[in-house]
Structure 1
Amino acid sequence: MSESHESRPAQAGPWVLDTREIGQRAGASRSYQRNAPAPAGFGLDMIKVPEGEPVVLDLLAESVVEGVLVSGTASARVAGECVRCLDPVSDEVEVEVRELFAYPDSATDASTDDDEVERVVDDLIDLEPVVRDAMLLSLPSAPVCSPDCQGLCSGCGVKWAELAPEHTHETIDPRWAALQERFGGSEEEK
């Protein structure tokens, strides 16, 4: 096993599974249902799982020849801001999880790079990176409060939904601005 695997500390907690509970007999399995608190930064800039929010894990860990196959679902509440009007956005996200964690010194461990497959470290599996990656891929990069959100008026910053249909801002072509200052009136009157 490479040094980077050994130096990565695995700690007991809601994100960590102890593979000794399953054993290394191919075909042995165990179900896990637990709530794990979301760490800071569990999401994107505009939408994320709030720190400390429970991530509900419903998983099956199966011992296979090369390691432990973990499959199931992870779900959580997400919160953020609409990219168009900045109103709060909240939703539920549920993702499928399916990942092989290779045993140390297995053929898979020896034949793959560090970032190609997850590893079993000191008989422990850290689920957090796998669940985080699956959730990140499922979150919208540009969340909206509703599909028909019109956003904010670029002139005054008020939501278009709250403005009258005839709302406008007079814009003056900068080439005519000096003439308007000198002679007064609007561009349409000239």
Structure 2
Amino acid sequence: MSEHRHASTRPTATGPWVIDTRDLGRRAGASRAVTRSVPAEGVGLLGVIAVPPGGNIELDLLLESVVEGVLVTGTARTTVEGECSRCLEPLSSEVEVELTELYAYPDSTTDETTEEDEVSRLHDDLVDLEPVVRDAIVLALPQVPLCSPDCLGLCVDCGGKLAELGPDHGHETIDPRWAALQERFGGNRDNPEEN
């Protein structure tokens, strides 16, 4: 396999998202638990709902050495913030996703028989969790976040929250073509005999 194929995704030995797996070796069945908190500001759908500034993702993982690589399973948990798509009120939500990802050993059958974007790969015995966790969190988020499923939204005329305005809230609208006549003749349009 050519070296340039993985150059853009090669992790470095440092960073909160990177885990060194050398202690597992290539002994199938060897495993190790990993728990850590990683900085994740902005993970999500930017401008809609995402991990807030200073926010973290809590990882609770098991790394297992298997014949073809290292299998990573577990959960990623975080709090996301955004605003309701209907009433624009701020909202906050807990998100937890299940992770199962195989990181293939270099020159393994999996590595040789799959395309670059089909499976994650180990580089220098390092696992870079960031792309997998980010993708899982984004896929778990609602495309249209709501403060509650039955949120009524805002009044299109005055911008008030419909839930607070009440069921008989409304605005009288006059067809602009008739507005000049009403101004000229005045009166009550509901009872023309008073004019």
Q: Structure 1: how far apart are the matches of 2:118 and 2:53?
A: 28
For the pair 1:43 / 2:49, whether they are aligned, the reply is no
Tell me the CA shift for residue 120 of structure 1: 0.8
> In the alignment, what sits opposite 1:135?
137
Deviation track 1:1-35 (CA, whole Å, cap 9, x = no partner) reads 34131343412222111111211111111110111
Q: Structure 1: how far apart are the matches of 2:163 and 2:104?
A: 53
Q: Structure 1: how far apart are the matches of 2:22 and 2:187?
A: 83
Q: How does 1:53-64 map to 2 (within 5 A)?
A: 53-64=55-66
Q: How does 1:157-172 map to 2 (within 5 A)?
A: 157-172=159-174
Q: SS in structure 1 opposite 2:44? A: coil
**Two-structure CA RMSD over aligned residues (Å):** 1.8
Q: 1:187 to 1:103 in 2, by over 3 A?
A: farther
Q: Name the % identity.
A: 64
- The unaligned stretches of length 5 or more in structure 2 are none
Q: Structure 2: how far apart are the matches of 1:19 and 1:170?
A: 69
Q: How does 1:1-190 map to 2 (within 5 A)?
A: 1-2=1-2, 3-11=4-12, 12-39=14-41, 41-44=42-45, 45-185=47-187, 188-189=190-191
Tell me the CA shift for residue 162 of structure 1: 2.1
Aligned residues: 189
Is the CA contact (8 Å cut-off) linking 1:73 and 1:94 kept in structure 2?
Answer: yes
Deviation track 1:88-134 (CA, whole Å, cap 9, x = no partner) reads 11111111000011111111111111111111112111101111111
Deviation track 1:142-174 (CA, whole Å, cap 9, x = no partner) reads 111122221111111111122143221122234
- The unaligned stretches of length 5 or more in structure 1 are none
Q: 1:6 to 1:187 in 2, by over 3 A?
A: same
Is the CA contact (8 Å cut-off) linking 1:37 and 1:51 kept in structure 2?
Answer: no
Q: SS in structure 2 opposite 1:61? A: strand
